[in-house]
């Protein structure tokens, strides 16, 4: 009989400690009620604490915390006027394999990437020449040049 009591006591203790171990991961009673928000006790008040005006944070915008120079990135500055292809695309790299040359382009405003060769078309522009550090495009409206190390319409990028 004492072995049975000892077994029951050990099983009860194991169940207690198992329940204690999973307690933090169980949902709270307020989360189980329908209509209860994730905001907790403040949800019942219906008010949000007043935030300071955005002008109070102007120094943070002018001197970004995670920028080594503490100046806005070149991509955040407005691009100077130029042809649409120079503003829209950035020359990422040039590849030469034997007599064949290829250029890698990236959309300035997105993640779209292109690989083009001499004679290929890009939005109505023909790839006229691929040189050692630049890509020359032509169209009926004129010529445009994309140079390695230039962002968008020609502002040099800073590492």
User: In which residue are the tokens 């955040």 written?
Assistant: 76
CA angle 41, 42, 47 (to 5 degrees): 155
| Tens digits of pLDDT across the chain (159 residues) | 788 999 999 999 999 999 989 988 887 766 666 655 555 554 555 666 776 776 777 777 777 777 778 776 665 454 444 457 888 888 988 888 778 889 988 888 777 888 899 999 988 899 999 988 899 999 988 899 999 876 544 444 434
Residue 44 covered by a domain: no
Q: Are 130 and 145 in contact (CB under 8 A)?
A: no
What is the pTM (predicted TM-score) of this model? 0.43
Instruction: Assign residue 107 the CATH number of its domain.
Output: 2.30.30.830
* Helices of type H across the chain: 2-22, 29-32, 58-62, 84-88
Long-range pairs, 26-34, Cβ under 8 A, ≥24: none
Residue 108 belongs to what domain range?
74-156
Number of structural domains found in the chain: 1
User: In which residue are the tokens 């040359």 written?
Assistant: 101
């Amino acid at each position: 009989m004492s072995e049975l009591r000892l077994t029951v006591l050990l099983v009860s203790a194991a169940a207690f400690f198992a329940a204690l171990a999973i307690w933090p991961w169980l949902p709270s009673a307020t989360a189980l009620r329908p209509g209860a928000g994730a905001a907790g006790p403040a949800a019942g008040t219906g008010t949000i604490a007043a935030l300071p005006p955005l002008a109070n944070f102007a120094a943070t915008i002018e001197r970004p915390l995670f920028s080594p120079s503490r100046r806005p990135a070149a991509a955040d500055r407005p691009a100077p006027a130029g042809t649409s292809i120079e503003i829209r695309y950035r020359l990422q790299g040039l590849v030469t394999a034997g007599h064949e040359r290829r250029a890698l382009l990236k959309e300035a405003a997105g993640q779209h990437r292109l690989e083009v060769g001499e004679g290929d078309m890009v939005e109505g522009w023909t790839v006229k020449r691929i040189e050692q550090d630049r890509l020359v495009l032509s169209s009926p409206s004129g010529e445009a040049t994309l140079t390695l190390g230039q962002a968008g319409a020609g502002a040099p990028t800073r590492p």
